[in-house]
């Protein structure tokens, strides 16, 4: 099969083509696994974290990609859940032990044995991939393959982030950054909390215009104050400055939810500007989002189909993965980016 393979880590600035299109052996499904022919694979900022070494894969070479849609072409021994030809999706969560305390209470995203698709196991930047069938999801009918791919991470992690804000209808919400996850959260809020107004902070004028187009009541630069104190803010950026700025926009008792698996160190000095009485006192709080659980993915897919909640997408051929990643790195974003093998 053809795959875009990561062979070495390093900054995109010095290596703009970190992935190579190679012919590699077809994967073979083991017991409890299904083999999927990939038809769409979303491009996520987490892949930049992997490539640039902030979240290094345990071994190289490897195949990235954790927002995957495809058709089952083979079932390993013991598989009963999906039939050949069925359309399925794969998310960031590739495996959890199911036995530890976090798993037993439904927080398998916090499992010490958590394994990630496209990091701890080969992912979807390829024509074929395997996954434990218990960690695959049926894809609802309303969506094309390319539309469904971003729902599996950008949508699911956005769903978890929104739930962790504790927002109630009518309370104002802020979004810092407006890429794949941010634009899906805005669409979710308009459906689930119709009386809540959304305020968007983004560096790019194009992202701000896109946010207003989708229903934000206000869009400003990262350093601009919101017109009203916010009940919660979801940060989807890869850097620190928006974290500090977001805290300053929270009302007393407000919550900042950081939806990022890693932060870049390029502006770490921004944390020195954090002022406790101004930014954190009055019971303001910060909460991180760690991975996703299967329940997050399943619940979000059901919600997205019911709305229906369709992402804005830009499509690329599999061999164009490096271009898509460069555009993501340079914030040339409108919605979500999706690779289409073949």
CATH number, domain at 224? 3.40.50.720
Do 7 and 66 fall within a single domain? Answer: yes
Do 284 and 326 fall within a single domain? Answer: no
Q: What pTM did the predictor assign?
A: 0.94
Do 124 and 164 fall within a single domain? Answer: no
Residue 272 — pLDDT band, cuts 50, 70, 90?
confident
Asked, for residue 333, whether it belongs to a domain, the answer is yes
In angstroms, the CA 128 to CA 336 distance is 22
> For 78-108, what is each residue's pLDDT tens digit?
999 999 999 999 999 999 999 999 999 999 9
Q: Which two tokens stand for residue 134?
A: 């218990």
pLDDT at residue 335 greater than cutoff 90: no
Do 6 and 124 fall within a single domain? Answer: yes
Q: Which domain holds residue 16?
A: 2-139+312-340
pLDDT for residue 265: 86
In angstroms, the CA 342 to CA 339 distance is 9
Do 238 and 319 fall within a single domain? Answer: no
In angstroms, the CA 256 to CA 233 distance is 5
Residue 175 — pLDDT band, cuts 50, 70, 90?
very high
Residue 271 — pLDDT band, cuts 50, 70, 90?
confident
27: CATH:
3.90.180.10
pLDDT at residue 342 greater than cutoff 90: no
Across 53-58, average pLDDT: 96
In angstroms, the CA 156 to CA 90 distance is 12
pLDDT at residue 71 greater than cutoff 90: yes
Name the domain count of the chain: 2
> For 130-142, what is each residue's pLDDT tens digit?
999 999 999 999 9
> For 284-302, what is each residue's pLDDT tens digit?
999 999 999 999 999 999 9
| Nearest of 299, 56, 256, 277 to residue 157 by alpha carbon | 299
Q: Degrees (nearest 5) of the Cα angle 264, 270, 276? A: 125
pLDDT for residue 290: 94
In angstroms, the CA 179 to CA 69 distance is 20
């Amino acid at each position: 099969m053809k795959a875009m393979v990561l062979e070495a880590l390093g900054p995109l600035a010095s290596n703009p083509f970190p992935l190579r299109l190679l012919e590699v052996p077809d994967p073979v499904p083991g017991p409890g696994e299904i083999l999927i022919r990939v038809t769409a694979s979303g491009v996520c900022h987490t892949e930049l974290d992997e490539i640039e070494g902030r979240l290094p894969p345990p071994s190289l070479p490897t195949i990235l990609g954790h927002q995957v849609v495809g058709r089952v072409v083979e079932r390993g021994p013991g598989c009963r859940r999906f039939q050949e030809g069925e359309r399925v999706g794969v998310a960031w969560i590739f495996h959890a032990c199911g036995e530890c305390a976090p798993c037993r209470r439904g927080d398998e995203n916090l499992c010490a044995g958590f394994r990630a698709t496209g990091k701890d196991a080969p992912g979807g930047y390829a024509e074929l991939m395997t996954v434990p069938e218990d960690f695959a999801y049926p894809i609802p009918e309303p969506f094309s393959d390319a539309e469904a791919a971003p729902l599996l991470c950008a949508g699911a992690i956005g769903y978890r982030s929104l739930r962790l804000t504790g927002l109630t209808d009518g309370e104002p919400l802020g979004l810092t950054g407006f890429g794949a996850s941010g634009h899906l959260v805005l669409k979710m809020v308009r459906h689930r909390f119709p009386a809540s107004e959304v305020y968007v902070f983004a560096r790019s004028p194009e992202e701000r215009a896109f946010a207003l187009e989708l229903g934000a009541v206000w869009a400003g630069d990262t350093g601009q104050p919101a017109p009203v104190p916010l009940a919660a803010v979801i940060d989807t950026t890869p850097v620190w400055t928006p974290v500090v700025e977001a805290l300053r926009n929270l009302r007393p008792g407000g919550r900042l939810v950081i939806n990022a698996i890693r932060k870049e160190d390029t502006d770490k000095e921004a944390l020195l500007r954090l002022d406790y009485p101004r930014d954190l006192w009055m019971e303001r709080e910060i909460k991180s989002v760690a991975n996703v659980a299967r329940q997050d993915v399943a619940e979000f897919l059901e919600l997205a189909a019911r709305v229906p909640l369709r992402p804005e997408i830009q499509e690329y051929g599999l061999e164009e993965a490096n271009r898509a990643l460069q555009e993501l790195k340079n914030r040339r974003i409108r919605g979500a980016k999706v690779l289409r093998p073949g």
